[in-house]
């Protein structure tokens, strides 16, 4: 299952049924879980802990040192879950000591061609990065987020779960859960209704989210006024509560 031209460093640990294609390189301190597929001309460096069933396509560069000029080759790591797909030319960098020292990726994500996950990002599960989408350092991306092609997210921004970022958008502030954003800079354009329906959200829950969105974005409230107006609704709706907690915890402020 290992092509003769592949280079596997002695301290790398490969699980069962791992396939490594021609001219790929698995560096020191890489742990690669069972059933992973590494196509040709892939580079995976460590320290990296990678779960099972991940598929790395040609010319992906995974676990490389970051591009932050403050990085001085300190020991940092990459942690990846299970069943992710990293398509051609995808780049994922390890963390820095200026944050938690690690980049973290969940499971069942799709990173399309030439996407980039920078140092110290925390990516949830079931996320899609469309072609050329990029997140700068320290970005957090929630579960089920879709980043449209050619979109970019500024460092330290948080993207809430189930949100949708339109193609070519530039995100400069936090995007609350369930929200669709588009433009440069990205602004809110509604809730991600179709995505939420596909994931089984009920009509009643969608109505709660839609009403919350109107309080935040359609009634002329300040952010603090919107959160206050939603206080009673958040007691009965977990989704509204998630929205208000996200806004209250936002450090960069939310898109408006």
Catalytic residues: 119-120, 137
User: What does DSSP assign to residue 153?
Assistant: E
**Under 8 Å CB-to-CB from 172, ≥6 apart: which residues?**
154, 157, 185, 186, 252, 255
Residue 210: its H or E element: helix 203-217
From the list 6, 4, 91, 90, the residue with the least C-alpha distance to 41 is 6
Distance separating alpha carbons of residues 132 and 220, to the nearest angstrom = 35
Distance separating alpha carbons of residues 96 and 101, to the nearest angstrom = 5
SS3 60: coil
Distance separating alpha carbons of residues 186 and 175, to the nearest angstrom = 9
From the list 78, 80, 40, the residue with the least C-alpha distance to 60 is 40
């Amino acid at each position: 299952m290992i092509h003769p031209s592949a280079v596997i460093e002695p301290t790398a640990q490969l699980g069962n049924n791992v396939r490594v294609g021609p001219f790929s390189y698995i560096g020191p301190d890489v742990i690669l879980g069972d059933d992973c597929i590494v196509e040709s001309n892939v580079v995976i460096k460590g320290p990296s802990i990678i779960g099972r069933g991940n598929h790395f396509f040609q010319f992906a560069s995974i676990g490389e040192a970051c591009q932050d000029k403050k990085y001085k080759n300190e020991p940092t790591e990459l942690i990846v879950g299970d069943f992710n797909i990293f398509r051609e030319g995808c780049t994922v960098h390890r963390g820095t000591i200026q944050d938690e020292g690690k980049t973290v990726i969940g499971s069942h994500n799709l990173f399309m061609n030439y996407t980039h996950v920078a140092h110290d990002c925390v990516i949830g599960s079931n996320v899609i990065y469309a072609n050329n989408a990029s997140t700068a350092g320290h970005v957090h991306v929630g579960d089920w987020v879709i980043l449209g092609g050619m979109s970019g997210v500024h460092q330290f921004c948080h993207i809430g779960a189930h949100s949708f970022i339109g193609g070519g958008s530039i995100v400069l502030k936090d995007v609350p859960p369930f929200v669709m954003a588009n433009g440069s800079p990205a602004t809110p354009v509604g809730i991600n209704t179709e995505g939420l329906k596909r994931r089984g959200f009920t009509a009643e829950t969608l109505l709660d989210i839609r009403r919350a969105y109107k309080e935040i974005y359609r009634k002329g409230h300040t952010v603090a006024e919107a959160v206050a107006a939603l206080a009673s609704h958040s007691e009965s709706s977990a989704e509204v509560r998630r929205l208000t907690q996200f806004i209250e915890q936002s450090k960069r402020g939310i898109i408006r």
